[in-house]
């Protein structure tokens, strides 16, 4: 008799069209293992129900026969059934308040929770993620935001031809559009009032790499953070190029003690010993793309107070747009007041009034803070994610979750990602009890 495993339909918002397993990978699993895939029907999923049916999957509303259910986004409370195992992005490991009722419900029902975000190798590198696609979509939407903001200010640029990520048929189409912007910059140049156009990237991981992949389609030169000030002083720049700066941790923080040297491991272990110095770079940037991991124990890199002083000091600061791809509300970028969505991706943060203004008009800096960016590239995201998840699916679907956690026979990266086991926190996640 075959074991049933399921895939839940995504319904958190109308933009969510991704799927954790693509049809061809479903066929591969069904043919190789004693498994049967049941999927909830969906009218918006990037692959039609029929695409899965022809590969051997069953479309069923009721997934109660499935011992393991995969999803992408958070799951509503009424979906959980006693004793079942669920794998999805739970967004709980930082104690996110909105998802604590969900976590509590899973504990009450004795559920096992496996979180994609915590699937890591022995070096701690994530193995199953959408980071690259978040960076790609985030950079496209940041370019759109920049073009529209400047147009609103009466400055015409090739960026105003850029569309939002979800408005392109594919990533290939989007890249061709960005290449056209690059061609126009190279041949025609940019308005002198915005030259040099400098884009700063915080971080250097998958998200940053995805964002830079899009940025690098333009004619660009890279500047080191230490050279930013002299770059302006020398004036050795042109309207036919754009410029990028990549900020690592050592550029963004310094030890509180003057006698202490920067130590990356110490910064992550004891961030209270460090303070942000990132704001010293802000006057030079036209666009900031935030791609860093952040948690409450780390410093804010741009504070509301700094922005207030900047706008009081300068009538029109260079910084026009912040693309906050990481999207931690009032986190690394303190003026990220709330997350936006693909249909309404931006607001203007007024640093004097300390409030958000809908749209692209008003005093301040435009903030693009869409929290579901990979969904805008649903096809590419699903292919990429499914390829990473595929090697683990059979072991998860066929695992015996009835015994003790220590005896559960799963690959190391998956066992590392189990937050709840039969309703109890596993040893690595005991700290989360304080959030419940």
Residue 281 banded pLDDT, cuts 50, 70, 90: very high
Instruction: Say yes or no to pLDDT of 418 above 90.
Output: yes
pLDDT band for position 157 (50/70/90)? very high
pLDDT value of residue 265: 93
Query: Residue written as tokens 């969505």?
Result: 341
User: What tokens were used for 390?
Assistant: 């595929």
For the stretch 256-278, pLDDT in tens is 998 899 999 999 999 999 999 99
Distances (CA, A) of 409 to 36, 121, 135: 21, 16, 35
336 neighbors 328 (Cβ within 8 angstroms): yes
Report the alpha-carbon distance of residue 410 to residue 326 in Å, rounded: 30
Q: Is the dihedral of CA 88, 93, 97, 100 positive or negative?
A: positive
Whether the Cβ atoms of residue 304 and residue 351 lie closer than 8 Å to each other: yes
Is residue 299 within 8 Å of residue 219, measured between CB atoms? no
**Three-state DSSP class for residue 57:** coil
**pLDDT higher than 90, residue 315:** no
- pLDDT in the model for residue 295: 87
pTM of full prediction above 0.85? yes
Mean pLDDT, residues 79-100 = 95
Q: What CATH superfamily classification does 3-118+378-425 receive?
A: NAD(P)-binding Rossmann-like Domain (3.40.50.720)
The arithmetic mean of pLDDT across residues 320-335, rounded, is 96
| Tokens (6 digits) for 376 | 């805008």
Residue 349: strand pairing partners = 356, 365
Residue 138 CA to residue 129 CA, distance in Å, equals 15
CA distance linking residue 237 with residue 223, whole number of Å = 11
Give the pLDDT mean for 416-424: 97
Which residues does residue 323 pair with via DSSP β-bridges, in sequence order? Answer: 289, 368
Compute the distance between CA of residue 265 and CA of residue 271 in angstroms, rounded to an integer. 10
Q: String of b and e for 371-400 (b: at least 16 CB within 10 Å)?
A: bbbbbbbbbbbbbbbbebbbebbbebbebe
Q: What is the pLDDT of residue 244?
A: 98
The ranges of the chain annotated as CATH 3.40.50.720 are 3-118+378-425, 131-371
pLDDT category at 424 given cuts 50, 70, 90 is: very high
Q: What is the pLDDT of residues 228-239, one digit of tens each?
A: 999 999 998 999
Q: Are 88 and 72 in contact (CB under 8 A)?
A: yes
Give the model's pLDDT for residue 130. Answer: 86
Q: What is the rounded (10 degree) CA torsion for 416, 422, 423, 429?
A: -20
Cα of first residue to Cα of last residue in the chain, in angstroms, is 39
Q: In what order do the strands lie in the sheet with 424-425?
A: 58-59, 35-39, 3-7, 68-70, 85-88, 112-115, 418-421, 424-425
pLDDT digits 0-9 by tens, 118-129? 999 998 889 998
Residues 287, 142 contacting (CB under 8 angstroms): yes
224: left (phi over 0), alpha (psi -120 to 50) or beta: beta
Rounded average pLDDT over 36-50: 97
Topology at the third CATH level for domain 131-371: Rossmann fold (3.40.50)
pLDDT band for 56, please (50, 70, 90 cuts). Answer: very high
Q: What tokens were used for 40?
A: 């909830």
Q: For residue 436, what pLDDT is reported?
A: 87
| Residue-level pLDDT at 368 | 98
Residue 123: predicted pLDDT: 87
Does 208 score more than 90 pLDDT?
Answer: yes
Per the prediction, the chain carries an average pLDDT of 96
């Amino acid at each position: 008799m075959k074991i049933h495993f399921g895939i839940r339909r995504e319904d958190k918002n109308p933009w969510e069209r991704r799927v954790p397993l693509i049809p061809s990978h479903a066929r591969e699993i069904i043919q190789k293992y004693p498994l049967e895939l049941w999927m909830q029907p969906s009218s918006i999923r990037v692959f039609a129900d029929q695409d899965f049916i022809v590969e051997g999957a069953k479309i069923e509303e009721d997934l109660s026969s499935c011992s393991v259910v995969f999803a992408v986004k958070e799951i509503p409370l009424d979906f959980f059934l006693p004793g079942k195992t669920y794998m999805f992005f739970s967004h709980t490991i930082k104690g996110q308040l909105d998802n604590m009722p969900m976590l509590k419900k899973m504990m009450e029902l004795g559920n096992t929770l496996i979180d994609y975000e915590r699937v890591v190798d022995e070096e701690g590198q994530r193995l199953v993620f959408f980071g690259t696609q978040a960076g790609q979509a985030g950079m496209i939407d940041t370019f759109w935001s920049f073009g529209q903001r400047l147009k609103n200010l009466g400055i015409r640029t090739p960026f105003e031809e850029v569309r939002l990520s979800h408005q392109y048929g594919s990533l290939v189409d989007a890249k061709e559009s960005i290449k056209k912007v690059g061609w126009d910059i190279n041949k025609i140049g940019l308005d002198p009032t915005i030259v040099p156009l400098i884009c700063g990237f915080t971080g250097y991981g998958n998200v940053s790499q995805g964002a830079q992949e899009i940025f690098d389609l333009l004619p660009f030169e890279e500047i080191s953070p230490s050279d930013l000030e002299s770059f302006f002083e020398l004036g050795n720049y042109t309207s036919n190029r754009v410029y990028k700066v990549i900020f690592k941790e050592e550029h963004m923080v310094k030890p509180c003690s003057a006698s202490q040297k920067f130590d990356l491991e110490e910064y992550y272990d004891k961030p209270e010993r460090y303070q942000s110095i990132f704001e010293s770079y802000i006057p030079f940037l036209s666009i900031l793309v935030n791609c860093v991991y952040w948690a409450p124990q780390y410093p804010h890199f741009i504070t509301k107070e700094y922005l207030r002083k900047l706008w009081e000091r300068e009538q029109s600061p260079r910084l026009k747009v912040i693309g906050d791809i990481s999207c931690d509300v009032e986190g690394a970028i303190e003026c990220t007041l709330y997350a936006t969505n693909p249909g309404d991706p931006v607001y203007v943060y007024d640093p004097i009034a300390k409030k958000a203004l809908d749209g692209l008009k008003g005093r301040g800096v435009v903030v693009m803070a869409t929290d579901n960016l990979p969904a805008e590239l649903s096809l590419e995201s699903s292919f990429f994610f499914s390829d990473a998840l595929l090697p683990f699916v059979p072991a998860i679907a066929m695992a015996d979750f009835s015994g003790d956690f220590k005896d559960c026979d799963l690959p190391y990266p998956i066992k590392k990602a189990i937050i709840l086991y039969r309703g109890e926190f596993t040893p690595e996640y005991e700290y989360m009890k304080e959030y419940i």
